[in-house]
Amino acid sequence: MNGWTGHILRVNLTTKTFKKEAFSEDFARKWIGGRGFAVKILYDELAPGIDPLGPDNKFIVALGPIAGIPAPNTGKAVVAGKSPSTGGYGDGNIGTRVAEQLRKAGYDALIVEGRAAGPTMLYIEDDKVEFLPADAVWGQGTYVTNDWIYAKYGKSVGVLNIGQAGENLVRYAVVRSLEGRAGGRTGMGAVMGSKLLKAVVVKGTKSIPQADPAGMKKVGHDDLREVHRIDKEAGWSIQSTNGVLAWCNEVAALPVRNFRKTHHPDAWKCDGERLNNARIATYGCPNCTMRCGITIHDEEGRESELDYENVGLLGPNLEIFDLPAIGSLNYLCDDYGIDTMSGGCVLSFYADAIDRGAVPGGYKFGDVAGSKALLGQIARREGEIGNILAEGSMRAARKFGHGSIDYAMQVKGLEVAAYNCKFIPGMALAFGVSPIGAHHKESWVITFELKQTSRESYGPEKAQKVIDLQRIRGGLFEYIVACRFPWIEVGWSLENYPKYFKLVSGLDWTLDDFWTISDRIYSMIKLFWLREYPETDRKLDYPPAVWFDPANVDTEGPIAGKHLEVDKYDGLLQHYYDLRGYDRRGIPTKATLERLGVAEEGRAAEKFGKLS
């Protein structure tokens, strides 16, 4: 089967057994890989209602048909499982050598089941699987763990590992790889931790089956050079993702003070220009020629790799504008294996809750030392407050009460990324309908909203744009499994991806064929949600309530006096449902499921929740 290795590796940590399982060509064509494989496997194999942090959950690593093959930005893997933060399907993508090594070992996906008796490192080399003790690094951060693994196997192996946050089941713990890569902010690090799985190490020596290996090699190498050239011409990687910080500040879209403010006079201190000036090194994912990981010295002199999301949420959102200080908070998150975005939002929520008297405490916005200490308490689940905050902002708000849920900046239990949608209706919708909680990876419409339509509009054009972007960002790039940045940031044509797909698989598909796959996968994620939450309601697709609050408006600047309006937002949401073929709860109708070839999966969901 060209384009796929045709096999999945299934490992059981309880019984210390493993199986190499073949999958059919039909399965491959219907789900492609990455997120498609992950959601289908989890839907078929997980009983609804299982504890995401119990042995019944499964940890999946899934790759796509172009993963690991030298071509623009293919060094990515999807990590997935039932999410401890949302209770629905959860995933994330991560830059890692596992992408290449697992495919060379002969697998398109890895399924980890059960729970080990003690801290374990899984070592996979082609057909061999070893269950090795990881006691030596249990309790250690991800940097020490990574070095320990490199010292044993060298730096060419693929590694996924967790820090203390994953071990201690922090609901927004991530998986880590390489110098500064992280993925699975829906709590995939905690899923690993719940299985006492400290690390997965992979080495492969086989070749990946391809329809036209010589053609792919030539095109892949030529395109890597071309992406490098156009990035240099555009200058994108000079400031990388943090270039957008200054712009967000100008257009009132920056999260400041738990998203209460949208811009700040000191934001320039941590913008892309300053980050580039402070750069000491640049890191990136495998098979990337536009590397975006800008590293600086933090306050303690350690190397810390920053991007926009972590600067935005650990910086201005906490009213911290000093880059080395932000670097320190980012370093701690990375070392503990805490998601930087959720970590930033949880801290800002706590400071806000204290500020508003919902909970007593001495922590304040702008408190760098306090932030450092709290991150440690969260990672170790130390004391009452460490334990509460380790649960994420939604659960912490339920505990604190006093209406604090209104300013817990999350959707469905996952904290929002670093775009303040106080008055950006389409982006608020993008967060609202992201099927895994408020993630920016699914859709990002702010420039469209400002340039192609009006910021004030709640019209169907915005809902359509959200869908178009979901098909590309949350669809194509998450199942073919490649980094979206060449397309997003330097204009690399989408038409390149059917071209690569044809070279590896021999299948001549159009982008429209891919959009059907994207819609199918989104429907499956919604079915997973329905099974877990039969009483699901459209309110779950609403953004945080504070964005609707007239008392929270800016008093000056470009959006002074403006806020999102509930009725209009609800109308925009309905446009989205109508265009998608979803019912009023946001669940695909039977007709939609039939059209997308998942009627059978729909019937399986009906045992738990109604379809219309």
Partner 1 sequence: MKITVKLIGPFVQLFGFSEKELDVPGGTTADDLIGLVSIDRSRPKIVTRNGRAVVPGEALAEGDRLVISPIYSGG
Q: Which of partner 1, ligand SF4, none sits in contact with 207, Cβ below 5 to 8 A by type?
A: none
Site for partner 1 contains 307 (CB under 8 A): yes
Shortest distance in whole angstroms from residue 434 CB to partner 1:
12
Site for ligand SF4 contains 243 (CB under 6 A): no
Among 353, 559, 593, 611, binds partner 1 (CB under 8 A): 559
Stretch that binds partner 1, among 87-95, 110-118, 150-158, 301-309 (CB under 8 A): 301-309
**What are residue 480's phi and psi, to 5 degrees?**
-80, -20
Q: Which is nearer to ligand SF4, 180 or 187 (CB)?
A: 180
Q: Determine contact, residues 59/84, Cβ cutoff 8 Å.
A: no
Q: Which is nearer to partner 1, 486 or 544 (CB)?
A: 486
Q: Which of partner 1, ligand SF4, none sits in contact with 288, Cβ below 5 to 8 A by type?
A: ligand SF4
> Over 219-251, what HEC string results?
HHHHHHHHHHHHHHHHCHHHHHHHHHHHHHHHC
191-210: contacts with ligand SF4 (CB under 6 A) = none
User: 247: closest CA among 292, 315, 190, 308?
Assistant: 308
DSSP output for 283-334: E--TT-SS--EEEEE-TTS-EEEE-HHHHHHHTGGGT---HHHHHHHHHHHH
Q: Which is nearer to partner 1, 231 or 541 (CB)?
A: 231
Q: What is the C-alpha end-to-end distance of the chain, expressed in Å?
A: 38
Stretch that binds partner 1, among 33-41, 239-247, 495-503, 528-536 (CB under 8 A): 239-247
* Beta-bridge partner residues of 120: 133, 197
Among 23, 485, 542, 577, binds ligand SF4 (CB under 6 A): 485
* CA distance to 260, 266, 365, 407, 551, per residue, from 422 (Å): 8, 20, 20, 12, 12
Stretch that binds partner 1, among 62-70, 387-395, 441-449, 534-542 (CB under 8 A): 441-449
How many CA atoms within 13 Å lie on the side-chain side of 216? 25
* CA distance to 80, 168, 203, 544, per residue, from 134 (Å): 22, 15, 18, 40
Site for ligand SF4 contains 284 (CB under 6 A): yes
Stretch that binds partner 1, among 106-114, 354-362, 458-466, 484-492 (CB under 8 A): 484-492
Site for partner 1 contains 224 (CB under 8 A): no
Q: Which of partner 1, ligand SF4, none sits in contact with 307, Cβ below 5 to 8 A by type?
A: partner 1
Shortest distance in whole angstroms from residue 426 CB to partner 1:
12
DSSP output for 565-589: -HHHHHHHHHHHHHHHTB-TTS-B-
Residue 173 DSSP symbol = B
Site for partner 1 contains 273 (CB under 8 A): yes
* CA distance to 105, 212, 226, 243, 502, per residue, from 491 (Å): 33, 26, 11, 16, 21
Summarize as ranges the residues that interact with partner 1 (CB under 8 A): 234-236, 238-239, 241, 243-244, 246-247, 250-252, 272-273, 276, 307-309, 417, 419, 440, 444, 446-447, 450-451, 455, 485, 488-489, 491, 557-559
